[in-house]
Structure 1
Amino acid sequence: MTTEYLRDDHFKIIGSIETDSTGKQVGRDAHFARVGEYNPREDKTRDSHFRIVGTGNQLSALIWRSVK
């Protein structure tokens, strides 16, 4: 599993995206709370309540939306 960290303009970590061996990705906020997941086989992004957010990978947008 690989992890990519997303940072703001001041280099503070605002979230992360974990990718497993199948390509499925899970987005987490700065407190490691799950904000959503992307499944490349379906090409859909789901939020933390497993509702479809849209097609394509939109995890970074979900992480930015969780920043307060």
Structure 2
Amino acid sequence: MSREIVRDRAGRVLGWYEDNGISGRINARDASGRWIGFYDKKLNETRDPGGRLLAKGNVLPSLIFRP
């Protein structure tokens, strides 16, 4: 599982993405490590932790950069 850390301009961690190649999902977590959503590569959908559809396509950055 590869991890990509997202930082702001000052170098503070805002969150990260974890790509699980087996399931075809990219999970997003905030700076506290809370799961904030996932992108399903096979279905091309982004969903929240409850499984509700947020958008078609990958909009995980909008979850991490949310104020």
Amino acid at match of 1:41: K
Amino acid at match of 1:10: A
| Distance in structure 2 (CA, Å) of the matches to 1:64 and 1:26 | 15
Q: Which runs of 5+ in 1 are unaligned?
A: none
Q: CA offsets per residue over residues 37-62 of structure 1, 9 Å max, x none?
A: 00011000001221111011111111
Q: Which runs of 5+ in 2 are unaligned?
A: none
Runs of 4+ in 1 over 2 A off after TM superposition: none
Amino acid at match of 1:20: N
2:20 is the alignment partner of 1:4: no
Q: Could you say what the CA RMSD is over the residues aligned between the two structures, in angstroms?
A: 1.0
| Distance in structure 2 (CA, Å) of the matches to 1:24 and 1:49 | 15
Q: So what's the TM-score if we normalise by structure 2?
A: 0.91
Question: Normalized per residue, which structure has more helix?
Answer: 1
Partner of 1:53: 54
Partner of 1:19: 19
2:61 is the alignment partner of 1:63: no
Give the deviation of 1:64 after TM superposition: 1.0
| Distance in structure 1 (CA, Å) of the matches to 2:44 and 2:63 | 16
Q: So what's the TM-score if we normalise by structure 1?
A: 0.90
Task: Give aligned pairs, total.
Answer: 66
